Amino acid sequence: MTTDTGRFAGYGVLITGAARGIGAATATRFAEEGARVLVADADPEAGERTAAALRDRGLTVEAVACDVRDQASVEAAVAHAVHAFGTVDVLVNNAAHCTPDAPRFEDQAEEDWAADLDVTLTGAYRCCRAALAHLEASCRGAIVTVGSVNGLQDFGNHAYSAAKAGLVSLTRTLAGHAGPRGVRVNLVAPGTIRTRAWEGRDDDLVAVSEVYPLRRIGEPEDIAAAVTFLASRDAAWITGTTLTVDGGVTAVNHGFRRALDHTGR
């Protein structure tokens, strides 16, 4: 079943990397607001657990195995959504891969660089390519990609950051192409979010929170709220934009402030 009310009543939504973290929170938010949601993830067991938990609440959520590195897998996921829901109105590109940097840039393995770009940037390209005609046919299509502040400033992780920066550019260029087809394309750039990448690092999260003007790190639900806003008709005249959802961290130069504090100026 699904709800008959809510911003996304009757919508079909496909979310990649939706088994955990930001993806799972986004699936939950869409489903709670009436959407029929397909949880697409390279870990099908985890994806099914997320979908089953939402179905237990009476929400319409299905899961499918999807490896965004493989065009056939992506196309199968899109076809599953169309078959199950009759439409794909929203695509959320959330799948990503992040390889830790080598101590020296020149020691980074080329295969690690390629893996980050293949999943994070090219994976989103594959999903957009597979879904675009269906999004156009829905007459209310929207693509929302989950980027990162890493694509805007230096927070480390060379390959991941380059891939996320590429997503910012793809958002702009695809918005120009897709706009006349009735499809909006936007990106959310999160700051530090409490996900499994930070498991066991509570002290690090406390320390990191101090550089955020709002004095906390983000939660997956913070990003889900931004994604659903950009996908909704409330954002009907917004396309090609990058929305930073980062507690203000990219707005403040803490190094500069500390330097001035040190000099007493």
What pLDDT, on the 0 to 100 scale, is given for residue 262?
66
Q: Which two tokens stand for residue 215?
A: 């004095």
Q: Tally the domains of the chain.
A: 1
Whether residue 258 lies inside any domain: the answer is: no
CATH of the domain at 73: 3.40.50.720
pLDDT digits (tens, 9 = 90+) for 41-65: 999 999 999 999 999 999 999 999 9
Whether residue 5 lies inside any domain: the answer is: no
Whether residue 164 lies inside any domain: the answer is: yes
Whether residue 206 lies inside any domain: the answer is: no
Whether residue 174 lies inside any domain: the answer is: yes
pLDDT digits (tens, 9 = 90+) for 100-125: 999 999 999 999 999 999 999 999 99
Whether residue 28 lies inside any domain: the answer is: yes
The values of phi and psi at residue 212, to 5°, are -90, 130
Whether residue 263 lies inside any domain: the answer is: no
**Residue span of the structural domain in which 89 resides:** 12-201+218-251
What pLDDT, on the 0 to 100 scale, is given for residue 261?
77
Which residues belong to the active site? 160, 164
Whether residue 49 lies inside any domain: the answer is: yes
pTM of the model: 0.94
Which residue positions in the chain have pLDDT lower than 50? 1
CA distances from 96 to 7, 119, 146, 164, 215 (A): 27, 6, 9, 9, 26
Residue 222 neighbours by CB under 8 Å, 6+ apart: 190, 193, 245
